[in-house]
Homo-oligomer: A and B are copies of this chain.
Amino acid sequence: MTSKIKIAIFGGSGYGGSELLRILLFHPNAEISLVTASEQAGKAVGDVHRNLNGLTDLHFAKAPASMEELPDVDVAFFALPHGQALSLVPDLPSGVKVIDLSGDFRINDPQVFKKFYKLEHTATRMQERFVYGLTETNREAISKAQYVANPGCFATATLLALGPMVKSGLLNGKIVVDAKTGSSGSGAKAAANTHHPQRSNSFYAYKPFTHQHVPEIEQHLREMGAFDNEFIFMTHSLPVSRGIFASCYLETSLNMTNEDLAHLYNDLYEDSFFIRMVEGSPDINWVKNTNFCDIAFHSNGKQIVVFSAIDNLVKGAAGQAVQNMNLMFGLEEKTGLVFPGGNP
């Protein structure tokens, strides 16, 4: 590419927006034309996200009053609270590509959307044009898409762990996914459930049987294979800042060895730079601040457990969004995303 991709970020003050900025400011093919943040409009990005202090002269802008005032951009990222992209995306100039990090365009069925998000889906036409952005399982569609619905953080960890098993056609019976997230998953605004004195010694479950990522996961499982299994999904809160860990309990119709599993996972992921198969167990410590998803699996006859770990804000949000942008603009998938986390 000779010229850079011109980018607008809607919603730059939250953690998703913050991580988009952290990545895109150092992306060799990216140029940020606009980053909005209503409450922080006018402030320097480095004064709000103090990790970026000294690394950019960008300032937050108000969202344009109408999309006609939008500067000429190639792609718009939406990192807004659920429900806002829904009304903004339809008004974008026609050629602009869209990557939405919210849940607004992940669910195809408006009834299901309404049930889980408590919102009327007001852009169902638009919805049909959205492609689900789980990069490793949906590359071709993403490459050709104008509109990408970036997966939820829990959905990413779960679907990457389950993908090879669902595609194998060997799943039998109930699937149980016990998922845990760090506190940054609750966003950048202080709230009772992220009050440090309490959260720092807490572990608890929330939203039993009702998490909004369930329909998103089930929908994509059906897209990947013949999936009609009972699916139990449970979310828990970890006393760390970053990281999602999913423990997936499966059953297969045939006895399987670890070698059998290795074949399935390698088949699907052998060209996927960001999927790392690890021994024993992944650890959120080794993926933090990175776009990697670490996966381990163990068989015991027909009983299978698969573990996956990601950084909820990177592979679970901004990193995967940029990975999708790369595909949508014909760049190598990992451009701008090959950076390690620290040790320790």
Contact = CB atoms under 8 A, between A and B. Distances in A.
Interface string A272-297: 01001010111111101110101010
Interface in A1-59: 15, 18-19, 22, 25-26, 49-55
A114 interface: no
B240 A236 contact: no
Given A190-B191, A247-B178, A285-B198, A278 B53 contact: yes
B201 A285 contact: yes
Interface residues of A, number: 86
Interface in A293-314: 294, 296, 298, 300, 303, 305, 307, 309, 313
30 contacts: A15-B197, A19-B342, A22-B342, A52-B340, A53-B292, A176-B249, A178-B178, A188-B195, A188-B197, A189-B195, A190-B194, A190-B195, A194-B195, A195-B344, A197-B242, A200-B200, A203-B283, A203-B309, A204-B245, A205-B247, A205-B281, A205-B296, A208-B300, A209-B300, A234-B247, A234-B305, A236-B247, A239-B239, A239-B240, A289-B341
Contacts of A290: 51
A53, A204, A206, most chain B CB atoms within 10 A? A204
A50 B200 CA distance: 16
Interface stretch (A60-68, A78-86, A134-142, A179-187): A179-187
Contacts of A195: 188-190, 194-196, 344
Contact of A196 (B176, B199, B313, B341): B199
Interface in A234-286: 234, 236, 238-243, 245, 247, 249, 251, 273, 276, 278, 280-286
A202 interface: yes
A56 to B, nearest CB: 9
A72 interface: no
Contacts of A305: 205, 208-209, 232, 234
A241 B197 contact: yes
A283 B191 CA distance: 17
Top 7 nearest A-B pairs (CB, nearest first) are A197-B344, A178-B178, A204-B283, A205-B281, A184-B197, A196-B199, A208-B298
Q: How many copies does the complex hold?
A: 4
A117 to B, nearest CB: 20
Nearest to A185: B197
Contacts of A342: 19, 22, 51, 242, 288-289, 313
A288 B242 CA distance: 14
A25 B236 CA distance: 32
B343 A50 contact: yes
A174 interface: yes
Contact of A209 (B184, B283, B298): B298
A276 B338 CA distance: 26
